[in-house]
Protein backbone atom coordinates (compact mmCIF):
# COMPACT_ATOMS: atom_id res chain seq x y z
CA UNK A 1 0.00 0.00 0.00
CA UNK A 2 1.42 3.36 -1.00
CA UNK A 3 2.45 5.60 1.90
CA UNK A 4 3.40 9.26 2.17
CA UNK A 5 6.76 9.03 3.89
CA UNK A 6 8.59 11.96 5.45
CA UNK A 7 12.31 11.23 5.12
CA UNK A 8 14.41 13.48 7.35
CA UNK A 9 18.03 13.70 6.19
CA UNK A 10 16.92 12.28 2.84
CA UNK A 11 19.61 14.16 0.92
CA UNK A 12 22.39 12.40 2.86
CA UNK A 13 24.28 9.21 2.11
CA UNK A 14 21.85 6.53 3.35
CA UNK A 15 18.76 8.71 2.97
CA UNK A 16 19.38 9.39 -0.72
CA UNK A 17 19.55 5.70 -1.62
CA UNK A 18 16.47 4.95 0.48
CA UNK A 19 14.46 7.78 -1.10
CA UNK A 20 15.14 6.45 -4.60
CA UNK A 21 13.94 2.99 -3.61
CA UNK A 22 10.85 4.35 -1.81
CA UNK A 23 9.74 6.47 -4.77
CA UNK A 24 10.46 3.68 -7.24
CA UNK A 25 8.38 1.30 -5.11
CA UNK A 26 5.41 3.67 -5.52
CA UNK A 27 5.55 5.61 -2.25
CA UNK A 28 5.08 9.36 -2.05
CA UNK A 29 8.16 10.95 -0.43
CA UNK A 30 8.82 14.31 1.19
CA UNK A 31 12.44 14.99 2.15
CA UNK A 32 13.22 17.37 5.00
CA UNK A 33 16.94 18.22 5.08
CA UNK A 34 18.85 21.32 6.17
CA UNK A 35 21.70 20.44 3.76
CA UNK A 36 24.23 20.78 6.61
CA UNK A 37 25.99 17.62 5.43
CA UNK A 38 24.63 17.22 1.92
CA UNK A 39 24.21 19.10 -1.28
CA UNK A 40 21.52 20.38 -3.59
CA UNK A 41 23.41 18.51 -6.34
CA UNK A 42 22.62 15.25 -4.53
CA UNK A 43 18.96 16.18 -4.68
CA UNK A 44 19.07 16.76 -8.44
CA UNK A 45 20.77 13.38 -8.89
CA UNK A 46 18.23 11.64 -6.63
CA UNK A 47 15.39 13.10 -8.70
CA UNK A 48 16.95 11.75 -11.90
CA UNK A 49 16.96 8.23 -10.43
CA UNK A 50 13.34 8.45 -9.29
CA UNK A 51 10.55 7.22 -11.54
CA UNK A 52 7.99 9.44 -9.77
CA UNK A 53 7.77 12.91 -8.22
CA UNK A 54 9.77 13.89 -5.14
CA UNK A 55 9.04 16.70 -2.72
CA UNK A 56 11.92 18.50 -0.98
CA UNK A 57 11.73 20.93 1.91
CA UNK A 58 14.94 22.65 2.98
CA UNK A 59 14.68 23.02 6.73
CA UNK A 60 15.64 21.83 10.16
CA UNK A 61 14.07 19.15 12.34
CA UNK A 62 14.65 21.47 15.32
CA UNK A 63 12.19 24.04 13.92
CA UNK A 64 8.80 23.33 15.57
CA UNK A 65 6.74 25.75 13.48
CA UNK A 66 8.15 24.31 10.26
CA UNK A 67 7.31 20.80 11.47
CA UNK A 68 3.79 21.79 12.46
CA UNK A 69 3.18 23.33 9.03
CA UNK A 70 4.76 20.34 7.29
CA UNK A 71 2.47 17.86 9.03
CA UNK A 72 -0.62 20.00 8.47
CA UNK A 73 0.14 20.64 4.77
CA UNK A 74 1.09 17.04 3.95
CA UNK A 75 -0.80 13.86 4.68
CA UNK A 76 2.27 12.06 6.06
CA UNK A 77 1.66 8.47 7.19
CA UNK A 78 5.18 7.39 8.26
CA UNK A 79 8.54 8.96 9.08
CA UNK A 80 12.02 7.59 8.39
CA UNK A 81 14.43 9.63 10.49
CA UNK A 82 18.00 9.83 9.15
CA UNK A 83 18.74 13.47 10.01
CA UNK A 84 21.54 13.88 12.51
CA UNK A 85 25.24 14.41 13.01
CA UNK A 86 27.39 11.29 12.79
CA UNK A 87 31.12 11.94 13.26
CA UNK A 88 32.44 10.34 16.43
CA UNK A 89 35.55 12.55 16.73
CA UNK A 90 33.56 15.74 16.18
CA UNK A 91 31.06 14.63 18.81
CA UNK A 92 33.87 14.55 21.38
CA UNK A 93 34.86 18.11 20.41
CA UNK A 94 31.32 19.47 20.23
CA UNK A 95 29.11 17.31 22.45
CA UNK A 96 26.42 19.96 22.91
CA UNK A 97 25.88 20.25 19.16
CA UNK A 98 25.42 16.50 18.99
CA UNK A 99 22.97 16.36 21.90
CA UNK A 100 21.07 19.34 20.54
CA UNK A 101 20.81 18.05 16.98
CA UNK A 102 20.44 14.32 17.53
CA UNK A 103 18.51 14.19 20.80
CA UNK A 104 16.83 17.61 20.75
CA UNK A 105 16.00 17.30 17.05
CA UNK A 106 14.55 13.82 17.45
CA UNK A 107 12.43 14.97 20.39
CA UNK A 108 11.07 17.93 18.40
CA UNK A 109 10.23 15.63 15.53
CA UNK A 110 8.46 13.13 17.79
CA UNK A 111 6.46 15.92 19.46
CA UNK A 112 5.31 17.20 16.08
CA UNK A 113 4.38 13.66 15.03
CA UNK A 114 2.46 13.04 18.24
CA UNK A 115 0.59 16.32 17.73
CA UNK A 116 -0.24 15.40 14.13
CA UNK A 117 -1.23 11.84 15.05
CA UNK A 118 1.51 10.32 12.84
CA UNK A 119 2.97 7.45 14.84
CA UNK A 120 4.85 5.15 12.46
CA UNK A 121 8.56 5.76 12.93
CA UNK A 122 11.79 4.22 11.67
CA UNK A 123 14.91 5.40 13.46
CA UNK A 124 18.52 5.32 12.19
CA UNK A 125 20.38 3.77 15.07
CA UNK A 126 23.83 2.23 14.97
CA UNK A 127 25.89 -0.73 16.06
CA UNK A 128 27.73 1.86 18.14
CA UNK A 129 25.04 1.28 20.83
CA UNK A 130 26.63 -2.13 21.52
CA UNK A 131 29.93 -0.52 22.65
CA UNK A 132 32.67 -3.14 22.91
CA UNK A 133 30.65 -6.35 22.48
CA UNK A 134 31.14 -9.19 24.96
CA UNK A 135 29.98 -11.89 22.53
CA UNK A 136 29.87 -12.26 18.76
CA UNK A 137 27.89 -12.15 16.56
CA UNK A 138 26.00 -9.25 18.13
CA UNK A 139 22.30 -9.91 18.68
CA UNK A 140 19.75 -7.20 19.35
CA UNK A 141 19.56 -8.33 22.97
CA UNK A 142 23.27 -7.76 23.59
CA UNK A 143 23.99 -5.25 26.36
CA UNK A 144 24.10 -1.63 25.24
CA UNK A 145 26.79 0.87 26.20
CA UNK A 146 28.61 3.71 24.52
CA UNK A 147 32.03 5.29 24.53
CA UNK A 148 31.46 8.74 23.01
CA UNK A 149 28.83 11.50 22.76
CA UNK A 150 27.67 10.40 19.29
CA UNK A 151 26.96 6.90 20.58
CA UNK A 152 25.23 8.40 23.63
CA UNK A 153 22.87 10.38 21.40
CA UNK A 154 21.83 7.20 19.55
CA UNK A 155 21.32 5.31 22.80
CA UNK A 156 19.37 8.21 24.34
CA UNK A 157 17.08 8.32 21.30
CA UNK A 158 16.51 4.57 21.65
CA UNK A 159 15.51 5.12 25.31
CA UNK A 160 13.20 8.00 24.37
CA UNK A 161 11.49 5.78 21.80
CA UNK A 162 11.21 2.93 24.30
CA UNK A 163 9.55 5.32 26.78
CA UNK A 164 7.17 6.52 24.09
CA UNK A 165 6.23 2.94 23.28
CA UNK A 166 5.71 2.13 26.98
CA UNK A 167 3.64 5.15 27.89
CA UNK A 168 1.80 6.44 24.81
CA UNK A 169 -0.78 4.77 22.63
CA UNK A 170 -0.56 4.02 18.97
CA UNK A 171 3.15 4.16 18.17
CA UNK A 172 4.79 1.69 15.80
CA UNK A 173 8.57 2.02 15.99
CA UNK A 174 11.60 0.27 14.57
CA UNK A 175 15.15 0.96 15.71
CA UNK A 176 17.37 -0.03 12.80
CA UNK A 177 20.92 -0.61 14.02
CA UNK A 178 23.21 -0.25 11.03
CA UNK A 179 26.61 -1.89 10.99
CA UNK A 180 29.08 -0.29 8.53
CA UNK A 181 27.30 1.23 5.52
CA UNK A 182 29.44 1.49 2.36
CA UNK A 183 28.97 1.35 -1.42
CA UNK A 184 26.97 3.56 -3.74
CA UNK A 185 24.14 3.46 -6.26
CA UNK A 186 25.01 1.34 -9.29
CA UNK A 187 24.65 4.36 -11.58
CA UNK A 188 27.66 6.00 -9.88
CA UNK A 189 25.65 9.23 -9.55
CA UNK A 190 24.91 9.18 -5.81
CA UNK A 191 27.18 8.03 -2.99
CA UNK A 192 28.97 9.07 0.15
CA UNK A 193 30.53 12.52 -0.03
CA UNK A 194 32.34 13.18 3.23
CA UNK A 195 33.35 16.75 4.02
CA UNK A 196 37.11 17.08 4.61
CA UNK A 197 39.23 14.09 5.56
CA UNK A 198 37.12 10.94 5.78
CA UNK A 199 36.94 9.31 9.22
CA UNK A 200 35.68 5.97 7.94
CA UNK A 201 37.69 3.31 6.20
CA UNK A 202 35.90 2.87 2.86
CA UNK A 203 35.82 6.54 1.78
CA UNK A 204 39.48 6.89 2.83
CA UNK A 205 40.50 3.81 0.83
CA UNK A 206 38.61 5.01 -2.24
CA UNK A 207 40.25 8.44 -2.05
CA UNK A 208 43.70 6.81 -1.86
CA UNK A 209 42.82 4.66 -4.88
CA UNK A 210 41.80 7.73 -6.86
CA UNK A 211 45.00 9.58 -5.94
CA UNK A 212 43.27 12.23 -3.82
CA UNK A 213 45.17 10.96 -0.75
CA UNK A 214 48.63 9.37 -0.63
CA UNK A 215 48.54 6.64 1.97
CA UNK A 216 46.06 4.84 4.15
CA UNK A 217 46.88 4.60 7.85
CA UNK A 218 45.83 1.20 9.13
CA UNK A 219 44.92 1.81 12.76
CA UNK A 220 46.59 -1.13 14.52
CA UNK A 221 47.66 -4.61 13.42
CA UNK A 222 47.83 -6.17 16.87
CA UNK A 223 44.15 -6.87 17.48
CA UNK A 224 43.11 -10.45 18.25
CA UNK A 225 41.71 -10.90 14.72
CA UNK A 226 42.64 -13.02 11.69
CA UNK A 227 45.36 -10.60 10.47
CA UNK A 228 45.59 -8.28 13.47
CA UNK A 229 43.52 -5.47 11.90
CA UNK A 230 40.02 -4.43 12.92
CA UNK A 231 37.10 -6.53 11.71
CA UNK A 232 33.74 -4.96 10.74
CA UNK A 233 30.46 -5.92 9.11
CA UNK A 234 30.36 -3.76 5.96
CA UNK A 235 26.95 -3.53 4.38
CA UNK A 236 26.05 -2.15 0.95
CA UNK A 237 23.94 1.01 1.16
CA UNK A 238 21.50 -0.44 -1.40
CA UNK A 239 20.90 -3.45 0.86
CA UNK A 240 20.46 -1.04 3.74
CA UNK A 241 17.92 0.99 1.75
CA UNK A 242 15.97 -2.20 1.00
CA UNK A 243 15.99 -2.92 4.72
CA UNK A 244 14.09 0.34 5.30
CA UNK A 245 11.42 -0.61 2.78
CA UNK A 246 11.07 -4.01 4.44
CA UNK A 247 10.85 -2.31 7.86
CA UNK A 248 8.12 0.03 6.60
CA UNK A 249 6.10 -2.85 5.15
CA UNK A 250 6.50 -4.77 8.39
CA UNK A 251 5.36 -1.86 10.57
CA UNK A 252 2.27 -1.26 8.45
CA UNK A 253 1.09 -4.79 9.21
CA UNK A 254 1.73 -4.57 12.97
CA UNK A 255 -0.78 -3.62 15.63
CA UNK A 256 -0.32 -0.35 17.53
CA UNK A 257 2.29 -0.26 20.26
CA UNK A 258 4.99 -2.17 18.43
CA UNK A 259 8.67 -1.52 19.05
CA UNK A 260 11.43 -3.62 17.56
CA UNK A 261 15.19 -3.21 17.43
CA UNK A 262 16.67 -4.79 14.32
CA UNK A 263 20.28 -5.18 13.19
CA UNK A 264 21.02 -4.40 9.57
CA UNK A 265 24.27 -6.12 8.73
CA UNK A 266 25.51 -9.01 6.62
CA UNK A 267 26.59 -11.19 9.55
CA UNK A 268 30.12 -11.40 8.12
CA UNK A 269 33.25 -9.73 9.44
CA UNK A 270 35.93 -8.36 7.10
CA UNK A 271 39.33 -7.08 8.22
CA UNK A 272 40.87 -3.77 7.17
CA UNK A 273 43.46 -5.57 5.03
CA UNK A 274 40.82 -7.78 3.41
CA UNK A 275 38.87 -4.69 2.45
CA UNK A 276 42.01 -3.03 1.08
CA UNK A 277 42.73 -6.13 -1.03
CA UNK A 278 39.17 -6.28 -2.34
CA UNK A 279 39.33 -2.59 -3.25
CA UNK A 280 42.62 -3.06 -5.09
CA UNK A 281 40.99 -5.82 -7.16
CA UNK A 282 37.89 -3.71 -7.90
CA UNK A 283 39.77 -0.55 -8.81
CA UNK A 284 42.89 -2.00 -10.39
CA UNK A 285 44.78 0.57 -8.27
CA UNK A 286 47.38 -0.01 -5.60
CA UNK A 287 46.44 1.24 -2.14
CA UNK A 288 49.65 2.18 -0.33
CA UNK A 289 49.25 1.81 3.43
CA UNK A 290 51.24 2.09 6.63
CA UNK A 291 50.55 0.50 9.98
CA UNK A 292 49.77 3.21 12.53
CA UNK A 293 48.86 3.13 16.23
CA UNK A 294 45.38 1.99 17.21
CA UNK A 295 42.67 4.68 17.02
CA UNK A 296 41.40 5.59 20.45
CA UNK A 297 37.98 4.11 21.20
CA UNK A 298 38.22 1.44 18.47
CA UNK A 299 37.17 -2.12 19.10
CA UNK A 300 38.69 -5.26 17.59
CA UNK A 301 35.68 -6.96 16.05
CA UNK A 302 32.06 -6.13 15.34
CA UNK A 303 29.58 -8.07 13.23
CA UNK A 304 25.88 -8.62 13.34
CA UNK A 305 23.65 -11.52 14.05
CA UNK A 306 21.25 -10.66 11.22
CA UNK A 307 18.69 -13.38 11.83
CA UNK A 308 16.00 -11.14 13.32
CA UNK A 309 15.89 -9.00 10.16
CA UNK A 310 15.40 -12.14 8.13
CA UNK A 311 12.72 -13.65 10.32
CA UNK A 312 10.71 -10.48 10.97
CA UNK A 313 11.28 -8.43 7.82
CA UNK A 314 12.07 -11.17 5.32
CA UNK A 315 15.18 -9.12 4.50
CA UNK A 316 18.79 -10.13 4.15
CA UNK A 317 21.80 -8.47 2.58
CA UNK A 318 22.58 -9.84 -0.88
CA UNK A 319 25.50 -7.72 -2.07
CA UNK A 320 29.07 -8.95 -1.75
CA UNK A 321 32.23 -7.14 -0.70
CA UNK A 322 33.12 -7.06 -4.41
CA UNK A 323 29.83 -5.26 -5.14
CA UNK A 324 30.58 -2.79 -2.34
CA UNK A 325 34.05 -2.05 -3.74
CA UNK A 326 32.97 -1.94 -7.41
CA UNK A 327 30.12 0.46 -6.69
CA UNK A 328 32.19 2.67 -4.40
CA UNK A 329 34.91 2.82 -7.05
CA UNK A 330 32.45 3.75 -9.82
CA UNK A 331 31.10 6.59 -7.66
CA UNK A 332 34.60 7.72 -6.61
CA UNK A 333 36.05 7.69 -10.13
CA UNK A 334 33.06 9.51 -11.63
CA UNK A 335 32.98 12.04 -8.75
CA UNK A 336 36.54 12.44 -7.45
CA UNK A 337 35.45 15.32 -5.20
CA UNK A 338 32.06 13.90 -4.27
CA UNK A 339 29.30 16.42 -4.91
CA UNK A 340 31.81 19.31 -4.79
CA UNK A 341 32.69 20.51 -8.26
P1 LIG B 1 24.59 11.97 6.29
O2 LIG B 1 25.29 13.02 7.08
O3 LIG B 1 25.05 11.70 4.91
O4 LIG B 1 23.03 12.29 6.24
C5 LIG B 1 22.36 12.97 7.29
C6 LIG B 1 21.52 14.07 6.65
O7 LIG B 1 20.82 14.77 7.68
C8 LIG B 1 22.37 15.11 5.89
O9 LIG B 1 21.85 15.27 4.60
C10 LIG B 1 22.22 16.40 6.74
O11 LIG B 1 22.24 17.54 5.92
C12 LIG B 1 20.88 16.16 7.40
N13 LIG B 1 20.70 16.83 8.70
C14 LIG B 1 21.55 16.82 9.76
N15 LIG B 1 21.02 17.52 10.77
C16 LIG B 1 19.80 17.96 10.37
C17 LIG B 1 18.78 18.73 10.96
N18 LIG B 1 18.91 19.21 12.20
N19 LIG B 1 17.65 19.01 10.25
C20 LIG B 1 17.53 18.54 8.98
N21 LIG B 1 18.47 17.82 8.36
C22 LIG B 1 19.59 17.52 9.04
O23 LIG B 1 24.63 10.63 7.17
P24 LIG B 1 24.27 9.13 6.76
O25 LIG B 1 25.54 8.37 6.68
O26 LIG B 1 23.34 9.13 5.63
O27 LIG B 1 23.55 8.68 8.10
C28 LIG B 1 22.15 8.78 8.26
C29 LIG B 1 21.77 8.38 9.68
O30 LIG B 1 22.23 7.06 9.94
C31 LIG B 1 22.40 9.26 10.77
O32 LIG B 1 21.43 9.45 11.79
C33 LIG B 1 23.55 8.44 11.28
O34 LIG B 1 23.86 8.74 12.62
C35 LIG B 1 23.01 7.04 11.13
N36 LIG B 1 24.08 6.03 10.96
C37 LIG B 1 25.00 6.20 9.99
C38 LIG B 1 26.04 5.29 9.84
C39 LIG B 1 27.11 5.48 8.79
O40 LIG B 1 28.18 4.92 8.94
N41 LIG B 1 26.88 6.23 7.72
C42 LIG B 1 26.10 4.17 10.70
C43 LIG B 1 25.12 4.01 11.67
C44 LIG B 1 24.10 4.95 11.79
C1 LIG C 1 32.79 4.11 12.98
C2 LIG C 1 32.35 4.87 14.20
C3 LIG C 1 31.09 4.23 14.76
C4 LIG C 1 30.01 4.13 13.70
C5 LIG C 1 30.56 3.34 12.53
C6 LIG C 1 29.53 3.20 11.45
C7 LIG C 1 34.45 5.71 15.12
C8 LIG C 1 35.43 5.63 16.26
N9 LIG C 1 33.42 4.86 15.18
O10 LIG C 1 33.19 2.88 13.45
O11 LIG C 1 30.59 4.99 15.84
O12 LIG C 1 28.87 3.48 14.21
O13 LIG C 1 31.74 4.00 12.05
O14 LIG C 1 29.94 3.59 10.23
O15 LIG C 1 34.56 6.54 14.22
N16 LIG C 1 40.40 2.25 9.89
C17 LIG C 1 41.70 2.35 9.51
N18 LIG C 1 42.10 3.50 8.87
C19 LIG C 1 41.24 4.53 8.60
C20 LIG C 1 39.90 4.41 9.00
C21 LIG C 1 39.52 3.26 9.65
O22 LIG C 1 42.50 1.45 9.72
O23 LIG C 1 41.68 5.55 8.03
C24 LIG C 1 39.94 1.00 10.54
C25 LIG C 1 39.38 1.18 11.92
O26 LIG C 1 40.38 1.12 12.90
C27 LIG C 1 38.39 0.01 11.99
C28 LIG C 1 37.91 -0.16 10.54
O29 LIG C 1 38.91 0.46 9.73
O30 LIG C 1 39.06 -1.16 12.38
C31 LIG C 1 36.58 0.50 10.26
O32 LIG C 1 36.62 1.85 10.68
P33 LIG C 1 35.42 2.86 10.39
O34 LIG C 1 35.05 2.81 8.97
O35 LIG C 1 35.80 4.18 10.98
O36 LIG C 1 34.18 2.23 11.20
P37 LIG C 1 34.05 1.83 12.74
O38 LIG C 1 35.34 1.82 13.42
O39 LIG C 1 33.27 0.57 12.78
Distance (angstroms) between ligand 2 centre and the Cα of 272 equals 10
pLDDT at 34: 98
Flag whether 273 is in a domain: no
Residue 299 falls inside a structural domain: no
Would the pTM of this model clear 0.95, i.e. be above it?
A: yes
Show Cβ contacts of residue 101 under 8 Å, excluding neighbours closer than 6 positions. Answer: 62, 83, 84, 85
**Cβ neighbours of residue 148 closer than 8 Å, sequence gap 6 or more:** 88, 91, 92, 128, 297
- What total of structural domains would you count in the chain? 1
- Is 333 domain-assigned? no
Per the structure, the complete domain to which residue 75 belongs is given by 4-182+234-265
Ligand closest to CA 192: 1
- For residue 93, the domain's CATH number is 3.40.50.720
87 touches ligand 1 (CB under 6 Å): no
Residues whose CB is less than 8 angstroms from the CB of residue 290 and which lie 6 or more positions away in sequence, other chains included: 215, 216, 217, 218
**Nearest-atom index, ligand 1, CA of 11:** 9
Q: Decide if pLDDT at 340 tops 90.
A: no
Considering the domain boundaries, does residue 199 fall inside one?
A: no
Q: Average pLDDT, stretch 214-238?
A: 98
- Is 323 within the bounds of a domain? no
- Among 63, 176, 168, smallest CA distance to 112 is for 63
Q: Given 98, 150, 178, 303, which residue is catalytic?
A: 150
For ligand 1, pick from 62, 86, 88 the residue to mutate: most ligand atoms within 8 Å of CB: 86
150 is catalytic: yes
- Cα 304 to ligand 2 centre (Å): 15
- Over range 60-76, report the average pLDDT: 98
CA of 88 to the centre of ligand 2 (A): 9
Please give the pLDDT value at position 305.
98
User: For 29-64, how does the pLDDT look when each residue is reduced to its tens digit (9 = 90+)?
Assistant: 999 999 999 999 999 999 999 999 999 999 999 999
Per the domain annotation, does 53 fall within a domain?
Answer: yes
Instruction: Assign 11 a pLDDT band (cuts: 50, 70, 90).
Output: very high
Amino acid sequence: MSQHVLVTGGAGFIGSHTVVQLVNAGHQVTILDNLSNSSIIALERIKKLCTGPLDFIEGDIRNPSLLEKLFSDHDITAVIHFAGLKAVGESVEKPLEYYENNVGGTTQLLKAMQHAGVKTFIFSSSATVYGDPETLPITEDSPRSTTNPYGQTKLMCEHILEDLDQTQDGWKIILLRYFNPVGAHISGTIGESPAGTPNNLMPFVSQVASGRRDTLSVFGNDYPTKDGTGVRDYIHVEDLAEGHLAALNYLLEQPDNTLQAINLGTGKGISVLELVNAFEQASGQQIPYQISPRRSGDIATCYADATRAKSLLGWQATKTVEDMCNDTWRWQSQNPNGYDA
